[in-house]
Amino acid sequence: MILGIDIGGTSSKFGLVDDGRVIARARIATTGHANDHAFADALAQEARQLAAAHGSAITSVGIGAPNANQLTGIIEMAPNLPWKHDVPLARMLSDRLSAPATLGNDANAAALGEWRYGAGRGIADLLVVTLGTGVGSGFIVNDRLVLGSAGNAGEVGHMTLIPGGRSCTCGRRGCVEAYVSIRGMLATYTEEGGTANVNDVKGLADLAHANDPAARRVFARSAEWLAIALANAVCTTGPRRIVLFGGIARNGDLLMAPLRDHFHASLLNIYQGRVDLTVSALPDDDAALLGAAALGTI
């Protein structure tokens, strides 16, 4: 039985995963522990109890976390977690649970989750892009996750889309993330003259469905930008499929219909008809756990 753990800023979810299904789940607070060791103690104890309650043994552990380096098993000074130092969480949980543990960043976990259990199953060359507060990604090449020489490959969100363009949280300008993340789309809404009070993608989608012209233009412009970014990413590893993950991609055809058109138009001729574009089909609540569990299978 694989234990999947999704470390979040306020709470950390964990679950027992068998054959691509989450058969039991629980959560503990990420904050409020004396230190990282106390957090690991509490997490390991709860996980053991969950497994015992289901008569299962934990055979491997997969952990998805922000700022996680898979090569080292360390969470590196994550700004949104309580510990402002490096936390070697893979080793800490492996010791406590007497099982091998693999730590990976959220986007890589999502990529592996899609590849093993989701819309990317059976696809040896896959790109998964997560669209949310930020834009993350994971590349799979020849059935293996690309980690890069320093364990930090796959930052499609920080490829430059518009040289000299919008400021990005990374300190640079014109990144993909500054345009097609939630924050980017809200910025576009203002740029397009939108005046409604809106602070998430659901709100933008509601406005677009109510024919707010600025909100409609947000989805049109975002589709154009994202299409270029995805077509650029295809030019590197030549994936067979791109899976989009996260709330932005799940707003029905508002984004996906124009995105498919623009993607087709943006794609280099030699890739035409050789890359398909799809939306994650994993259940919302379980996707992060399944992704984390997929880390436990590699």
Q: Which residues bind a copy of itself (CB under 8 A)?
A: 123-125, 139, 141-142, 144, 146-156, 158-163, 170-172, 228, 231-233, 235-240, 266, 268-271, 274-275
Q: Report the phi/psi class of residue 47: left, alpha or beta, with left for phi > 0 and alpha for psi in -120 to 50.
A: alpha
CA distances, 223 to each of 36, 50, 186, 272 (Å): 41, 43, 14, 18
β-pairing verdict for 135-141 and 126-131? antiparallel
Q: Which is nearer to a copy of itself, 115 or 139 (CB)?
A: 139
* Rounded Cα gap, residues 248 and 164, in angstroms: 25
Report residue 249 CA to chain centroid gap.
12
CB of 104 to a copy of itself, least distance (A): 14
CB of 294 to a copy of itself, least distance (A): 19
Q: Which is nearer to a copy of itself, 24 or 141 (CB)?
A: 141
Q: Which is nearer to a copy of itself, 26 or 147 (CB)?
A: 147
Q: Which contiguous run of DSSP H or E holds residue 217?
A: helix 213-237
CB of 155 to a copy of itself, least distance (A): 4
Enumerate the β-bridge partners of residue 68: 75
Half-sphere exposure of 74 (CA within 13 A, CB side): 10
Token code pair at residue 181: 């993340």
Q: Which is nearer to a copy of itself, 15 or 154 (CB)?
A: 154
Q: Which is nearer to a copy of itself, 122 or 283 (CB)?
A: 122
Residue 18 dihedral angles phi and psi, to the nearest 5°? -130, 120
Query: Of 182, 181, 176, whose CA–CA distance to 156 is shortest?
Result: 176
CB of 159 to a copy of itself, least distance (A): 4
Q: Which is nearer to a copy of itself, 211 or 269 (CB)?
A: 269
CB of 118 to a copy of itself, least distance (A): 18
Query: Of 167, 168, 102, 162, whose CA–CA distance to 135 is shortest?
Result: 168
CB of 228 to a copy of itself, least distance (A): 5
